[in-house]
Each structure stands twice: as structure tokens, then as C-alpha cells.
Amino acid sequence: MPIIAKNPARTAQKALNAKPGILHAAVEEFAEQGFAGARMDAIAKAAGVNIALVFYYFKSKDLLYKAALEDILATWHARVLAAMKTPQPPHGRLLAYLNTYFDFAQQESPACLRVVHQEVMRQGRSTSPHLTKLALKYIKPIHQALRQIIREGIAAGEFQALDPEHFVYSMNGMMNSYFVSSSVIRILSGHDPWSKKSIETRRHEVTKFIQLALLTSRGDALNLTKPQAPMRNGQ
């Protein structure tokens, strides 16, 4: 029977298209097994590719782990920063940050936040080389922008005279702790903390708590009715 020659361009394009799938499979594997327990062959199998292709792109498990972390944080950073740059008063930009955070939790796999939180917790008091570089590149600009929003709100008389640095820590702690503690919350409450309804309830309650703690009588109330999120990928 005739031998059908392979198309090199098609083969190269197929390999290139496999990269996002490898990253997605890696995030799920690292979230489920942790860095130490994650297996490159399991990632390759979940991505539907040969393990050689995984090593072609990422060389080692450590580099794949770094790439997965960076992919998550880069996506989060871009969405949050874009939302916070809209021309709104301080309370509007703060609400945009809150909504974008919970939108990210809803739209992405729970594994995304879990992997980032695992990396934060994994190092204890020592410094992770991955976390240090990625935090400076992606997290610190958001942190600085949030502090500036709080300062502007205080200067305008909208916000209480709270310490901007510690308010940002407290606000993020309220949001992050819910997802970090999701396994315990599932036991205590009997419901799925990652369900759309649960995340919407958490969004509403965090927004209301911040409104009561932060706004002065001159500040405009944060709109607790979240605007309809745009559909993605034509869905």
C-alpha cells in the first residue's frame, strides 16, 4: 500500500497547539498531587501527547511547574489590571478588582488557585525562587495599585482612614482563605464551595463586609449586584 508522507508543517502546528493542553494538564496534576507527587507521564497522558513532547517544551518537572504558575498569574494579572484601570472613582475600581477576582475563580479550574496557594504555603518561612520572581512581576503591581486606590478614596473622603497596606492584606485574606479552606468548608457546610451559587454568595458577602468596614457616610455604596460578565469564546 502507498506510504503517505507526513506534512512537516502540520506536525509542527499540532505540536505547538499541544502546549496549552500540557499546561492545563500540569495545573490539574500539580493541584491534585502537589509538586513532589506530580508525574510527568501522568501529565502527558492527560494532555493526550507523548511524554517526549512535554520534555521538548519544558525540559524538567520544575520548569513545567514554573510555567504553569506563571501562566495562571499572568492571566490573573492581565484581567485584574485591565479592570482596575477603568475610569471610575476609587470605590468603583475597588469593586472591579473584587469582581474580577471572583470571576477568575468561577471561570478557571479550581486547580488554578489551588496551585498558587500551594506554592505560597509550600515554602514556609524560606523563599521560593519561583514565587519571588512571579510575585514581583505579577502580584506586586496589583498590590501597589490597590494601595493607591485606598489612598485616593481616603483623600476624597469616601473611605475610612485605614492603613492602606494592612487593609489590602485583610481584604485579600478574606477572599483567599475561602478557597484555601474549601475542603474544610465543604465538611462544615455540606455544600460545594466552588459551585457557582457558593462563589456568588461569597462575592456578595465579602463586598458587603468591605462596604461596611471601608466606606464613610460620603462614600457611594458598592453595587452588590454584579454586572453580567461577558461571554467567552463565543459561548
Give the mean model confidence (pLDDT) for residues 23-41: 91
pLDDT attached to residue 163: 96
Give the mean model confidence (pLDDT) for residues 172-192: 91
Which is more confidently placed, 16 or 192?
A: 192
Interatomic CA distance for residues 205 and 104, integer angstroms: 17
C-alpha grid cell, residue 100 = 474580577
Name 215's bridge partners.
Answer: 159
Interatomic CA distance for residues 177 and 193, integer angstroms: 12
Q: Which residue matches cell numbers 476624597?
A: 156
Which is more confidently placed, 93 or 223?
A: 93
Interatomic CA distance for residues 53 and 30, integer angstroms: 18
pLDDT attached to residue 6: 52
Contact 210, 199 (CB under 8 A): no
Give the mean model confidence (pLDDT) for residues 150-166: 95
Q: For residue 107, give the nearest of 202, 199, 208, 5 by alpha carbon.
A: 199
Q: In which element (H, E) is residue 230 found?
A: none
Q: Is 159 helix (H, G, I), strand (E, B) or coil?
A: strand
**Position 230 confidence tier, pLDDT thresholds 50, 70, 90:** very low
Q: For residue 64, give the nearest of 77, 79, 78, 49 by alpha carbon.
A: 49
Q: What is the mean pLDDT of the chain?
A: 84
Dihedral, CA of residue 85, residue 73, residue 108 and residue 182, to nearest 10 = -110
Count of beta carbons in the 10 Å neighbourhood of residue 38: 19
Q: Which amino acid is at 234?
A: G
- Going by the DSSP 8-state scheme, the letter that residue 48 receives in this structure is T
Condensed to tens digits (0 to 9), the pLDDT of residues 93-120 reads: 999 999 999 999 888 878 888 888 888 8
Name 159's bridge partners.
Answer: 215
Q: Which amino acid is at 223?
A: N
